[in-house]
Structures are given as structure tokens and as C-alpha cells.
Amino acid sequence: MKREVVSMGGIADWTAQAGARLGIDAGQASTALVIELAREVSRAEGRHTAVMAAYLLGVAVGRGVDPREAAARLADLTEERSGTACDWRD
């Protein structure tokens, strides 16, 4: 499978601008965590599920769940459903 080259600088810039438009501090967003989670979910479940995973991750974090814990829970679900290990986790 061909891996997309992602410009972290471009993503960071977009994230900062999007945060400003939404009136939130996006400076604490873990760009790499979100991208890696979405990549793994997309590979196992499909692109549209990856979008929902990123959305649900944001909702969970907004409600006070630690970002890495929330991502781990979503990765666990993905692994259980697909039988494929998420290789981005520690």
C-alpha cells in the first residue's frame, strides 16, 4: 500500500488556523497521534471510519479523556474488529 507523504508543517499550520476559526486552542492537539490513529483505522476499517475515529477522539478529549488513552481505546476496538494489530502504539 502506498503511504501518503504528510507535511507536518502544513498540518500544524492548518490546525492552528482551524482552531482560531473555531475559537479553541488547537495548540495542544497531538497531530501525529490523530494522523496515526486515522491511518490505522482507515487501513483496517475504511476511510470513512477513520474520519469518525478522529471526530470521536476529539469529542472524548473535549470531555476530559486523556488523548493517548482515548486513542488506545479506539485502537483496541479496531484491533478487536479487524484482527489486525495497530502498529503505532508504544
CA-based end-to-end distance of the chain: 23
Q: Is 79 helix (H, G, I), strand (E, B) or coil?
A: helix
Query: Which H, E and C letters describe 30-52, residue by residue?
Result: CHHHHHHHHHHHHHHHCHHHHHH
| Tens digits of residue pLDDT in 2-19 | 555 667 678 888 888 988
The predicted model scores a pTM of 0.76
CA distance 46 to 42: 4
Place of cell 473535549: 62
| Tens digits of residue pLDDT in 34-78 | 999 999 999 999 999 999 999 999 999 999 999 999 999 999 999
pLDDT of 88 over the 90 cut: no
Alpha helices in the chain (DSSP H): 8-22, 31-45, 47-62, 67-82
Percent of residues, the chain, with pLDDT higher than 70: 83
CB 62 within 8 A of CB 79: no
Residue 5 has a pLDDT of 60
